[in-house]
Amino acid sequence: MTTKSKIEEGLGFEPQFGADGLITAVVTDAKSGDVLMVAHMNAEAVAKTIASGEAWYYSRSRKTLWKKGESSGHVQRVVELRVDCDQDALWLKVEQAGEGACHTGRRSCFYRTVPLGQSGAVTLEFRNADKTFDPDTVYGGMAGKRDR
């Protein structure tokens, strides 16, 4: 079995971390199927997520491991964790505690749509962009610092 076929067809979990030591994690809402966020994990975040069944990530901006919800209470219970063909991406189906996953105060980070069929400068449109919680209250003025 070649390395490639072992990774693609085998049952050994061998996450392929990038040169930065990270792997991409896509997080969807187990109920609605919506993509809540895209984050990154290092080996320790992967191990803690598997062991605990709750989502841990690595913050590229703060250069530190963090547990989702550690400051907001918006913990993510992992319903299922999957790995893709070449084992360089993870998919977490989660039960999102609290009102949302996004540090801006929305349920999902994907609250703007890109209109199709055009070229040149693109103007976004809001979708499901109502804030479901007040990030200043929830994060105590630390929005975008501690819990992302």
CB 27 within 8 A of CB 37: yes
Subset of 43-102 contacting a second copy (CB under 8 A): 47, 49-51, 53, 78, 80-86, 89-91, 102
Is the dihedral angle over the CA atoms 28, 54, 68, 20 positive or is it negative?
Answer: negative
Tell me the number of residues near a second copy by CB under 8 A: 55
Cβ 146 vs Cβ 57: under 8 Å: no
- State the CB neighbour count (10 A cutoff) for residue 94: 24
SS3 of residue 134 by DSSP: coil
- Of residues 16, 32, 64, 137, which one binds a second copy by CB under 8 A? 32
Q: Is 113 near a second copy (CB under 8 A)?
A: yes
Q: Which residues bind a second copy (CB under 8 A)?
A: 4, 8-13, 24, 26, 28, 32-35, 37-38, 47, 49-51, 53, 78, 80-86, 89-91, 102-104, 106, 109-119, 121-127, 144
